[in-house]
Amino acid sequence: MSTPPRIQINAARLHQHIQELAQIGKIGETGVCRLALSKEDREGVELVKAWMEEAGMEAHIDPFANLIGRLKGNNPDAPGLMLGSHIDSQPYGGRFDGAIGVLGAIEVVQSLVDSGITPECDIEVVAFCDEEGCRFNKGLFGVRGMTGKLEANELERTDKNGITRREALMQFGCNPADFEDYVFQQGRIGTFLELHIEQGPILESLDAPIGIVTGISGPLWLTVEMTGFAGHAGSVPMSMRRDALLGSAKIIVALNELVQQVPGAPTVGTVGSLTVFPDSRNIIPEKVSFTIDLRDIDLSRRNALETELLSVIENVSREHGLTYTIREDTNSEPRYCAGWIMESLREEAGAMGISPPELMSGPFHDSLAMSYVCDYGMIFVRCLEGISHNPKEYATPEDITLGTELLYRTARRIALEKTGSQA
């Protein structure tokens, strides 16, 4: 029988933090709603900032509403080690998504400080703003802002209440005018490590508490708007209708079939949001807009599926007398974790007496954007039945402790090296 690994972090403190943060924006018994740049988000940021300072970091909020804490290393010119994730949530979200990556990172720094260790390079802990993307229909805002990857007109995107991101940022206390002066220093960060719940069922099916991520399959996000013609549901004959919802329904079914063409492939396609106008039981729907989320670790296969989907939209529109527009909201390519970081994770896990399985990430994470500016690695923590973006989301304290312990040991190893990066 193997002995459980010796835990060097302070697990009790970590779980206390997770519980406390879960009280902010709490919905029901176990859920949270901390929409990006909301009052609850701000409250969460203030609490996490206080914990960063307690752990010995200097903390500030950057113009993109990212919360960043810094522990100074011996060599301020060495590329830094960044650890973190996000604390914003979906409207009907769970306590662990993102939060364990931020609170785990703070625990890593606090444990280093408690052990009297001074890192060679600076260590930064970050809670990125608006990873989820649900409020303004585009995710990874903070990390893309920090790394200089914002697109035109992002500040004019509106939420369901018509509030623009610009307004939301100002309400949060950030000034978008400061974006102009902000320049991301290439090379400031050498390595990014993120701890996150898996948000899928694979680790559970393997009976493994944690896993080492090999890469992230980037999503394609489209918004499709179909336009037909409204008419009385009682009087317009079926043959004369231009029903935008009927056409949309056919496209949604076709997407579901397209992504299952290759048996066993990890391809997934989802329509998760639908708006019907005028949305009345006795009026033929005139305008329907819906979102498409398409993911695959194989980019050429995903691109081929997109082409097939576009021809379905064209054919269905012709058949039902509809017009359409397609807006591309996000188009990310798959990004792979750095080999040397995966090797460090394997070795540190080995020293803990465990050998975690390796798996791809279907969901995107802040790491996806970080992969364009530095090497990155990710640790996944098993979650109950793969449930996430749901108040029922659950990971055991033991599994989270194990994931944070591996984060700690790997971060310590990287931070004690002279350069901070082996890129």
Among the listed ranges 96-104, 240-248, 298-306, 344-352, the one in contact with Zn ion (CB under 5 A) is: 96-104
Please give the helix or strand (H or E) that residue 115 lies within, else none.
none
By beta-carbon proximity to Zn ion, the closer residue of 97 and 198 is 97
CA 251 to chain centre: 27
By beta-carbon proximity to Zn ion, the closer residue of 31 and 98 is 98
Closest approach, Cβ 365 to Zn ion, in A, equals 6
Instruction: Dump strand ranges (E) for 228-267.
Output: none
Closest approach, Cβ 209 to Zn ion, in A, equals 19
By beta-carbon proximity to Zn ion, the closer residue of 14 and 305 is 14
Q: How many Cβ atoms are within 10 Å of 275's Cβ, its own excluded?
A: 13
Closest approach, Cβ 197 to Zn ion, in A, equals 8
Q: Indicate the length of the chain as a whole number.
A: 423
Q: Which of 40, 97, 130, 348 binds Zn ion (CB under 5 A)?
A: 97
Among the listed ranges 89-97, 226-234, 304-312, 374-382, the one in contact with Zn ion (CB under 5 A) is: 89-97
- As a whole number of Å, the CA-based R_g of the chain is 23
By beta-carbon proximity to Zn ion, the closer residue of 367 and 410 is 367
Closest approach, Cβ 258 to Zn ion, in A, equals 27
Residue 98 binding Zn ion, by CB under 5 A: yes
By beta-carbon proximity to Zn ion, the closer residue of 98 and 228 is 98
- Distance, in Å, from the CA atom of 402 to the CA atom of 324, rounded to the nearest integer, reads 49
Closest approach, Cβ 86 to Zn ion, in A, equals 6
Among the listed ranges 3-11, 24-32, 95-103, 215-223, the one in contact with Zn ion (CB under 5 A) is: 95-103
Binding-residue total with Zn ion (CB under 5 A): 2
Token pair belonging to 238: 């079926």
Closest approach, Cβ 6 to Zn ion, in A, equals 29
Q: Which residues contact 167 (CB under 8 A, 6 or more apart)?
A: none
By beta-carbon proximity to Zn ion, the closer residue of 106 and 316 is 106
Among the listed ranges 22-30, 90-98, 143-151, 225-233, the one in contact with Zn ion (CB under 5 A) is: 90-98
Q: Within positions 141 to 170, which residues make up the interface with Zn ion, using CB under 5 A?
A: none
- Distance, in Å, from the CA atom of 274 to the CA atom of 223, rounded to the nearest integer, reads 10
DSSP characters over 314-334: HHHHHHHT-EEEEEEEEE---
- Distance, in Å, from the CA atom of 195 to the CA atom of 203, rounded to the nearest integer, reads 14
Under DSSP, the state recorded for 93 is B
Of all residues in the shown chain, the one whose CB is closest to Zn ion is 98
Q: Which residues contact 195 (CB under 8 A, 6 or more apart)?
A: 83, 85, 100, 101, 104, 105, 378, 379, 381, 403, 404, 407
Residue 219 binding Zn ion, by CB under 5 A: no
Closest approach, Cβ 191 to Zn ion, in A, equals 20
For residue 356, what are the CA distances in angstroms to 111, 208, 212? 23, 7, 6
By beta-carbon proximity to Zn ion, the closer residue of 97 and 348 is 97
By beta-carbon proximity to Zn ion, the closer residue of 73 and 98 is 98
Residues that bind Zn ion (CB under 5 A): 97-98
